[in-house]
């Protein structure tokens, strides 16, 4: 199809979108809050619905900067109490907040409100958090602060923290702040895994503090909780006061003897660290070693972590991070297996949408039967393989776009200017056009009339992949689609 026809399709879709009235207020997010259809959050106003539904599922669709009016979700947690002694209420966060690799910036939120959730009993994952404050006063008694959550009894995974934090007091009032990049205090049922913090964190306390400050890049104190495969870099990290010994550390400030800690590292060369072993069980390595994959024993660098001298000042990054163009399955820089079959990633001018094209999401070399559970897809009897598993939204199955287009014999093109997806099959001159997050599809055959089709669910971005409704795509290319409830399989024939 000629480029002129593509422009015609694009104009038709944009016209259809322009005829849809805008929402009166951006406070009601898309989605229903279930695991298969989470609330899709695009703004602070939409994120605030977490107060009404703290047990729901949420997924970020873009970066968000919180303003000074942000109030964190409170809860039933109290300092130094085990989970069994807490009676949860409907107001406690027991849901799932999936950052989808995006960033929440809390820099404008004043301390001690600079956190998302006061007490986490649910899951916070795939999220980058940025913050920073210079707090002054005598009201921080036993203050536990972290950008993700002040107190954690739940799961925090695949998250990172950055910022500069200062706490200063000048009186005789007793203060003992516990400050971490992600978590203040991690309790007995709390798990923090595959996380890192790169922070500048200090406390200057009054003469009557009666104790020091627990300062760490990832968390302030591990209070009988669990930390797995995390690392911390603290520049200028220390506390000054008249009192106990310094409790600033790379991963965490301190941890109780019965806490669980495994596979955690900190940069021992940065300013502010003594020779002590950071909470007694974390491993200090030189800055050079911290930037080498071989240093991280039993870490998953195939699916979770990635290391490249050009990214994050050479320290490991999380593959889910939307800031980086990391093709799925790509080995870390310096690995022998650097070729990924021509896989490329395209980022639009805003830096917020990434579309990855590559062999890892295609249907080549598909097994005769799928491995694992979940939703499966077959095309003419062949199972497709996906690097991002299919998901169900509003009763419809969405799959990574390149895999399904290629399996149907079509090519696919991403148009970043309008965040649109153009698919074309030369054998029968069928063309379709979709726009991200818009439930409309334009279809054309042989250069003829353009038909606009309403979709039950719009294309969406998830985990660095664009997912499209598989039934709508297959039917647009003249295929029949069936569903096998017993095996949870989408069956495409054509």
pLDDT of residue 17: 42
- Token digits for 75? 């809860």
Residue 34 lies inside a defined structural domain of this protein: no
Shared-domain flag, residues 266 and 379: no
Give the domain CATH number at 97. 2.160.20
Spatial distance between the Cα atoms of 281 and 261, rounded to a whole number of angstroms: 7
Spatial distance between the Cα atoms of 78 and 472, rounded to a whole number of angstroms: 50
Shared-domain flag, residues 364 and 242: no
For every residue of 11-34, DSSP letters joined together read: HHHHHHHHTSPPPS-TTS-BS-SS
Shared-domain flag, residues 146 and 274: yes
pLDDT of residue 407: 92
**Residue ranges with strand state E in 169-258:** 178-180, 183-186, 191-193, 196-204, 214-216, 219-222, 226-228, 231-240, 247-248, 252-255
Last residue of some domain: 265, 290, 315?
290
Of 347-356, 405-414, 446-455, minimum mean pLDDT range: 347-356
pLDDT of residue 365: 34
- 405: DSSP letter: H
Last residue of some domain: 290, 320, 350?
290
**pLDDT confidence tier of residue 362, bands split at 50, 70 and 90:** very low
Last residue of some domain: 266, 290, 314?
290
Total domains, the chain: 2
Residue 315 lies inside a defined structural domain of this protein: no
Pairing of strands 430-435, 440-445: antiparallel
Strand order in the sheet with 489-493: 382-383, 376-379, 489-493, 480-484
pLDDT of residue 192: 96
Residue 350 lies inside a defined structural domain of this protein: no
- Which residues form the domain of 86? 64-290
Spatial distance between the Cα atoms of 43 and 27, rounded to a whole number of angstroms: 8
Q: Are 63 and 352 in contact (CB under 8 A)?
A: yes
Q: Are 383 and 367 in contact (CB under 8 A)?
A: yes
Residue 367 lies inside a defined structural domain of this protein: yes
Residue 251 has pLDDT above 80, yes or no: yes
pLDDT of residue 212: 63
Spatial distance between the Cα atoms of 120 and 77, rounded to a whole number of angstroms: 8
Over residues 90-116, the pLDDT tens digits come to: 888 999 999 999 999 999 998 778 899
Residue 318 lies inside a defined structural domain of this protein: no
Q: Which of 388, 393, 402, 392 is nearest to 462 (CA)?
A: 388
Residue 484 lies inside a defined structural domain of this protein: yes
Q: Are 203 and 239 in contact (CB under 8 A)?
A: yes
Residue 319 lies inside a defined structural domain of this protein: no
Residue 338 has pLDDT above 50, yes or no: no
Over residues 162-221, the pLDDT tens digits come to: 998 877 766 555 556 788 899 989 999 999 999 999 988 777 766 554 556 777 889 888
pLDDT of residue 379: 94
Residue 348 lies inside a defined structural domain of this protein: no
Q: Can you say whether the dihedral through the CA atoms of 37, 38, 39, 40 is positive or negative? A: negative
Give the domain CATH number at 453. 3.30.457.10
């Amino acid at each position: 199809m000629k480029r002129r026809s593509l422009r015609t399709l694009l104009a038709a879709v944009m016209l259809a979108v322009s005829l849809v009235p805008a929402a009166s207020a951006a406070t009601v997010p898309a989605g229903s809050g279930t695991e298969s259809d989470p609330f899709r959050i695009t703004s602070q106003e939409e994120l605030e619905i977490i107060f009404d539904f703290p047990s729901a599922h949420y997924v970020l669709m873009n970066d968000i900067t919180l303003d000074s009016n942000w109030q964190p979700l409170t809860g039933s947690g109290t300092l130094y109490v085990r989970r069994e002694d807490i009676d949860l209420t409907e107001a406690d966060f027991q849901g799932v907040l999936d950052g989808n690799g995006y960033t929440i910036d809390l820099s404008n939120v004043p301390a001690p409100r600079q956190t998302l959730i006061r007490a986490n009993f649910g899951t916070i994952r795939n999220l980058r958090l940025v913050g920073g404050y210079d707090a002054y006063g005598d009201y921080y008694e036993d203050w536990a602060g972290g950008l993700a959550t002040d107190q954690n009894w739940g799961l925090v995974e695949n998250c990172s923290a950055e910022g500069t934090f200062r706490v200063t007091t000048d009186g005789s009032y007793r203060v003992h702040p516990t400050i971490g990049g992600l978590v203040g205090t991690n309790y007995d049922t709390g798990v923090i895994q595959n996380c890192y913090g790169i922070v500048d964190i200090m406390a200057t306390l009054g003469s009557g503090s009666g104790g020091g400050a627990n300062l760490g890049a990832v968390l302030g104190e591990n209070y009988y909780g669990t930390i797995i495969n995390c690392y911390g870099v603290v520049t200028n990290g220390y506390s000054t006061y008249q009192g106990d010994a310094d409790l600033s550390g790379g991963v965490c400030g301190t941890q109780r003897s019965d806490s669980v800690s495994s596979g955690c590292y900190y940069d021992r060369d940065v300013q502010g660290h003594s020779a002590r072993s950071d909470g007694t069980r974390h491993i200090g390595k030189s800055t050079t070693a911290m930037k080498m994959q071989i240093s991280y024993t039993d870490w998953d660098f195939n699916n979770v972590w990635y290391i490249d001298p050009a990214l994050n000042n050479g320290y490991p990054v999380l593959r889910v991070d939307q800031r980086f163009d990391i093709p799925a399955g790509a080995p870390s820089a310096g690995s022998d297996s650097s070729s990924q079959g021509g896989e490329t990633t395209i980022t639009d001018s805003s830096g917020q949408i990434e579309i990855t094209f590559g062999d890892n999401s295609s249907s080549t070399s598909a097994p005769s039967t799928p491995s694992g559970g979940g939703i499966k897809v077959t095309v003419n009897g062949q199972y497709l393989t996906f690097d991002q598993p299919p998901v169900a939204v509003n009763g419809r199955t969405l799959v990574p776009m390149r895999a399904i287009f290629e399996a149907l014999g079509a090519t696919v093109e991403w148009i970043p200017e309008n965040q649109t997806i153009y698919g074309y099959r030369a054998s029968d001159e069928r063309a379709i056009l979709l726009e991200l997050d818009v439930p409309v599809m334009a279809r054309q055959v042989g250069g003829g009339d353009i038909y606009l089709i309403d979709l039950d669910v719009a294309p969406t971005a998830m985990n660095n992949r664009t997912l499209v409704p598989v039934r709508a795509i297959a039917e647009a290319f003249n295929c029949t689609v069936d569903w096998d409830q017993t095996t949870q399989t989408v069956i495409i024939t054509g």
